[in-house]
Structure 1
Amino acid sequence: MHTSDIFKHLLISILLLYVIFNSIPNEYSPFNNFNIISPIKFRPSDSPSPPSSSSSSPTTLAHLAFGLVGSAAAWGHRRPYIESWWRPNATRGFLYLDKPPTGPWSEASPPYRVSENLTAFLAETKAAAPVAIRIVHAIMEAVRDADDGNLRWVVMGDDDSIFFVDNILDMVAGYDHRKYYYFGTPSEFVMSNFWFSFVQGFGGAGFVLSYPLAKAMADDMEKCLRRSAHINAADLITMVCAADVGVSLSPHKGFHQIDMHGDISGLLSAHPPVPILSLHHFDHVDPIFPGTNRSESARRLMKAAAAADQSRMMQQTICHHKQNQWSFSVAWGYSAHIYEKIMPRWHLQKPLETFKIWVGQPRPPPQFMFNTRPDPSKDPCEAPHLFFFTHAQKTPAGILTTYSRHAPRGLPPCSSPHSVPANNISEIHVLSPPTKRTQMDRAECCDVVLKDDKAEVTFRECFSKETIVV
């Protein structure tokens, strides 16, 4: 038999076998579990679904939900804090109270919910801190109540948290909401972190969860709370629940827990060049603007300054007036300082320690998670002339903010060579560009012109080889 004949017989045999096996019912086929022709198929749970047009669209405010936790007893005096930043019919979310409020509910406030009754669960688990369990459980409630199919990010906070909504939106828009993220910040006070955790997001400062993480934590909430019933701090339980899902904190310098007391103007006047996202503990610090109460301070900050340009809010910009040997430090929308001495930028970036520690007696340094400058109230070369924001105005050239002198400094002039007293300056006008600042890799530069009793400061982008030195 020739080779060609053998090949023909072999081919005919293969075709006959193919016909025979295809005629056999599928459940009896010997090739049922051995398919070398069909491509590999993933189970639905293993197969990554392609992003839909809606999930890949730009993130908007409609994709965020706020879960705020408070008490009916404190709501009366904390209401102005939330109403200073909440935008009815724009921001969405809920305020979770421990019991129904008394009296009518303001349309300027977030809609409220009464937290779920966890009495039986608390008794069963013998929870060490029932209030902490209620606070963490609110994550699950917020996801449940706000999940309309378009939810991408969940922002959790307290009823005395002040959020900079535009900056939060810009921040999360730079991340993929389909991945697992847990944004927040440790405390400024070293001992708070030592007592609880250096790698947890402190809840009053607010923390942000991407939807996949928030949903995973919500689905595991009851089990996690059972595992964590012995823990007596809500923020630590939250960190534990995120860790159990496999996610760690991504710290962000824009959140501020404000674990301190007294005058925090020294801290706020030295904000780093990152968008500010939150402030907390307004009840525990002095009003941040002189001559106002806490509610008025919150309104001035959010309705006047932040409404004009959140992207620059409180970010510190430093420049010098060489002729008078002055240093200017401007925290946009909050304060401006004049020093009667040329000071390097790295020195002015350290906050003046005008504030006090959160709890306990002063301990050996460090007290805080950053370097500070001691209170220089008696040193005329180190003590600044203080000016605070009063109003903002949009002009064709940009945004003009005004800072008025708080009070006479009450010190003699600085004895530094060639220095000129600054006692005659009554106002500082700051002109910043009309466009939102999107690049934060470098601080802005500024130029100073003196006109009678006014100082005019103009913000601009630094030149490529410019250095902020004299």
Structure 2
Amino acid sequence: MKASQKDTEKLLVWEHMRSTRALPKLMVWLILFVIATYAVYTLKLVLNSRSCDDELFPAVSHKSLLMHKIDSDNFTMLLENREIHRKTEVKDIVFGIAASAKLWKKRKNYIKLWWKPGKMRGFVWLDNPVKGEKDEGLPPLKISGNTSQFAYTNRQGHRSAIRISRIVSETLNLGMENVRWFVMGDDDTVFVTDNLVRILNKYDHNQYYYIGSLSESHLQNIFFSYGMAYGGGGFAISYPLAKALVKMQDKCIQRYPGLYGSDDRMQACMAELGVPLTKELGFHQYDVYGNLFGLLAAHPVTPLVSLHHLDVVEPIFPNVTRVQALRKLTIPMKLDSAGLIQQSICYEKIKTWTISVSWGFAIQIIRGVLSPREIEMPTRTFLNWYRRADYTAYAFNTRPVARNPCQRPFVFYMSRVRFDSFTNQTVTVYDRHRVTHPACKWNLTSPAEIERVVVYKKPDPHLWDRSPRRNCCRILESKKRSMVLDVGLCREGEISVI
């Protein structure tokens, strides 16, 4: 019994010791489990925190930085493409105006007619300083650089031609930004700048372009060149071409000391660069004397860009000064520059009259029927550059003022113009120019019964975005001693025929 009791006690002590030894192992495993659980939880928390940071601050991640750079580059490229494909505006043009100090006081009034301070860029280049205060209505004045180092051997010309030929180069060297075109003209040139912009928008300013027109004188073109843009009528040079010109022009000028003027020197350098003249008939040199009526009343189907030699010809409107006449022309110019002086032809069937409209300038009413082929030819109201009435001396077709005394035109000059906002039309009024007409024995009603012509026309700024075509005119009902016309785009199937 005692032995059995002792064995039982030993067994209890042994079990107690085993349980006491097992307790630390359990605690170790418990601690390890807690540590592992904490580690996993912490790691998960850290990872979730980074993900959240990426969402809140995407610019921090490498991927986001890369995408941001790509977006920035695309935006810059988009802006550049927009600039490349943006239409040319007047702010993209820099004018270089050749002037003389001796004639500046008089001729600056021509520039005031078309120059828009604050909207246009350019300079007047003089041979010498001029006295007087700065005129706010004019471009800044510059003095041309010294050209005494260049030889000039033409006995009939003047060496000022050298300094004038360098105006484009000197203007470019001023370092102006965002220039697409350089446009040259004289101080007695008037530009229709809206139409100039329309013409230049036809061409890529990033390419080499030399744009202008010829002289009206066949002999002048023979003597100089049919491939030369006449400087007085104005010409345009694209910026890349101007940069190429600057690099070689001074050496080029040295090679042609015998040339007469600035424009033939310019053309000689263009020939060396291999750039031909791109002809635009709206630039007008007007190498003629007398009255421009015949030329303006039958203007070619192209925008009117410039008028030159205004001191040589008569005022374009009667009984006013030259500057007053041109200022009068600027009124319809502001309302519808695209249609300025554009010709329309129609017929009064009952009275058998031919009617020619030069919108914003003048209207002719002629007894009988003259075909459009005849009417679109300028009448010889002017003399050629050598003051002769020689119709073979012109570089275009002309016709006599009247082949029969009965067909001498009755002329109505524009007297006033307004815009009717209700009908969205311009209303131009033309009063008869009272001059003596030869006696006529034709059994036709005389246009002398008409005192006034009123023309309705909607402004059409997109006229030259379409293919070239004359506008049509239609005769509307009117009161006695007046005529009312409607001028606009030709309707389907409409032609000029009696």
TM-score of the superposed pair, with normalisation by structure 1: 0.84
1:75 is aligned to 2:101: no
Is contact 1:429–1:455 with CA below 8 Å preserved after alignment? yes
Corresponding residue number in structure 1 for 2:23: none
Deviation digits for residues 314-359 of structure 1 (CA, Å, limit 9, x no counterpart): 1111111111111110111111100121221111111110101112
Q: Which residue does the alignment assign to 1:336?
A: 363
Which residue matches 1:327? 354
CA shift, 1:190, in A, is 0.8
Structure 1 residue 367 corresponds to structure 2 residue 396: no
Shift of 1:126: 4.8
Task: Tell which deviates more after alignment, 134-143 or 401-410.
Answer: 401-410
Could you tell me how far apart the structure 2 residues matched to 1:258 and 1:58 are?
30
Aligned residue identity for 1:136: S
Question: Which of 378, 385, 398 matches 2:410?
Answer: 385
What amino acid sits opposite 2:167 in the alignment? Answer: A
The change in CA–CA distance for 1:454 and 1:140 in structure 2 (over 3 A counts) is same
Q: Deviations over 1:72-104 (max 9, x none)?
A: 111111111111111111111000011111111
1:110 and 2:136 are equivalent in the alignment: no
Corresponding residue to 1:410 among 414, 423, 437 = 437
The alignment status of 1:262 with 2:290, answered yes or no, reads yes
3-state SS, counterpart of residue 173 of structure 2: helix
CA offsets, 1:349-402, max 9 Å, x none? 111101011126555x511111111132x8343210011112210113211111
Question: Which residue of the partner structure matches residue 442 of structure 1?
Answer: 469
User: C-alpha separation between the residues in 1 aligned to 2:313 and 2:281?
Assistant: 20
- 5+ residue gaps, structure 2: 1-78
Aligned residue for 1:425? 450
Instruction: Structure 1: state its 5+ residue gaps.
Output: 1-49
Identity %: 33
Matched, 1:250 2:267: no
Secondary structure in structure 2 of the residue aligned to 1:193 = helix
CA separation of 1:414/1:175 partners in 2, compared to 1, >3 Å: closer, same or farther?
A: farther
In the alignment, what sits opposite 1:44? none
Kept in 1: contact 2:335–2:459 (CA 8 A): no
Q: More helix by proportion, 1 or 2?
A: 2
1:233-269 alpha-carbon deviations (Å, 9 max, x no partner)? 2111111111111101011110110000011111111
> What does the per-residue CA deviation read over 1:388-422, in whole Å, with 9 as the maximum and x for residues that have no partner?
1122101132111111111144233461x5x3111
* Residues 94, 122 of structure 2: 8 Å contact kept: yes
1:281 corresponds, among 309, 318, 334, to 309
Larger Rg: 2
RMSD over aligned Cα atoms: 1.8
Offset, 1:139? 1.3
* Aligned equivalents of 2:205, 2:362: Cα separation in 1: 35
> For residues 266 and 214 of structure 2, what CA distance do their matches in structure 1 show?
13
Cα pair distance change 1:440/1:269, threshold 3 Å: farther
Aligned match of 1:301: 329
Cα gap change, 1:442 to 1:361, in 2 (>3 Å): closer
The DSSP-based 3-state class of the residue aligned with 1:347 is: helix
- The aligned amino acid for 2:352 is Q
Mapped partners of 1:53, 1:434: distance in 2: 28
Pairs aligned (count): 412
**C-alpha separation between the residues in 2 aligned to 1:219 and 1:144?**
11
Displacement of 1:177 in angstroms is: 0.6
Asked if 1:158 is matched to 2:186, the reply is yes
1:11 maps to: none
Q: 1:211 aligns with which of 239, 263, 286?
A: 239
Over 3 Å counting, the alpha-carbon distance change for 1:424 and 1:408 in structure 2 is farther
Quick check: 2:215–2:284 contact (8 Å CA) kept in 1? yes
Q: Decide whether aligned partners of structure 1 residues 440 and 387 sit closer, same or farther in structure 2, where only a CA change above 3 A counts.
A: farther
C-alpha separation in 2, matches of 1:429 and 1:144: 51
Aligned to 1:173: 201
Report if the CA contact (8 A) 1:80-1:298 is conserved: no
The CA distance in 2 between the partners of 1:79 and 1:68, in whole Å, is 11
- Aligned mate of 1:133, from 162, 174, 190: 162
- Aligned pair partner of 1:93 in 100, 112, 122: 122
Partners of 1:148 and 1:115 lie apart in 2 by 17
TM-score, normalization: structure 2? 0.80
Q: Taking structure 1 as reference, are residues 434 and 341 closer, same or farther at Cα in structure 2, changes over 3 Å only?
A: same
Contact 1:414 1:421 in 2 (8 A): no
Q: Is the 8 A contact 1:274 1:440 kept in 2?
A: no
Letter matched to residue 179 of structure 2: L
Mark the CA change 1:424 to 1:360 in structure 2 (over 3 Å): closer, same or farther. closer
Q: Report the counterpart of residue 47 of structure 1 in structure 2.
A: none
Report the equivalent of 2:488.
460
Query: AA paired with 2:417?
Result: A
* 1:340–1:414 Cα contact (<8 Å) kept: no
1:69/1:158 contact within 8 Å kept: yes
Are positions 1:63 and 2:92 aligned together?
A: yes
Please tell me the residue identity of whatever aligns with 2:383.
K
Select which of 313, 327, 332 maps to 2:340: 313
Distance of 1:308 and 1:413 partners within structure 2: 39
DSSP-derived class of the 2:232 partner: helix
Q: Which amino acid aligns with 2:248?
A: D
Partner of 1:37: none
SS of alignment partner, residue 400 of structure 2: coil
Secondary structure of the 1:99 match is coil
Q: Residue 154 and residue 360 in structure 1: after superposition, are their counterparts in 2 closer, same or farther (change >3 A)?
A: same
- Structure 2 CA distance, aligned partners of 1:414 and 1:179? 61
Q: Which residue of the partner structure matches residue 39 of structure 2? A: none
Can you list the C-alpha shifts for 1:24-73, whole angstroms capped at 9, x where unaligned? xxxxxxxxxxxxxxxxxxxxxxxxxx964423322111101110001011
3-state SS, counterpart of residue 255 of structure 1: coil
Q: Deviations over 1:98-150 (max 9, x none)?
A: 1111111211111110111222x13xx355442110110111012223x4331
- Cα distance in 2, alignment partners of residues 256 and 407 from structure 1: 29
